[in-house]
Amino acid sequence: MSHPVEVVATVTSSTMLRSGDLLDTYSTAVGTVVLVAGPTGHRVVRLSPLGDAVRAAIGPGRTLAELEVELVSRLGDPPAGGVSELVRSAVLALVDERVIVAGQGPKGDISGVIRP
């Protein structure tokens, strides 16, 4: 999957991540789908097991580095590949689908400080 250059360039270890505008989540033994609000209508997005773990681990907001640590604590080290590359790839895919948002403060943060 190809990601817009500006998104790839701005997602660093200190980038703040938070949940997108999710209207509903439905999970079964065979997977999870989310209903994502969009400017031109709502979409259903099916999440991979890693995508669902990322969504759940973000909570009210985490940096990419914090997310990596949280996912390793929940899932253990990956059998192949580096944690950073796998998590970053999953994050970029979820940003593309608007399941998560990169570069904004956590929900409920009214400090006015936006972290990159």
Q: Which domain range does residue 31 map to?
A: 5-98
Per-residue pLDDT of the chain (116 residues; tens, 9 = 90+): 455 544 455 788 899 999 999 999 999 999 999 999 988 899 999 999 999 999 999 988 999 999 999 999 999 988 887 889 999 999 999 999 999 999 865 445 545 444 44
Per-residue confidence (pLDDT) for residue 116, from 0 to 100 = 47
Packing angle, helices 49-58 and 83-96, rounded to 10: 90
Number of domains within the chain: 1
Within a domain: residue 24? yes
Per the domain annotation, does 103 fall within a domain?
A: no
Classify residue 11: in a domain, yes or no. yes
Residue 52: inside a domain: yes
Q: pLDDT at position 38, please? A: 87
| pLDDT score, position 105 | 53
Question: What is the Cβ-side half-sphere exposure of residue 36, based on CA atoms within 13 angstroms?
Answer: 21
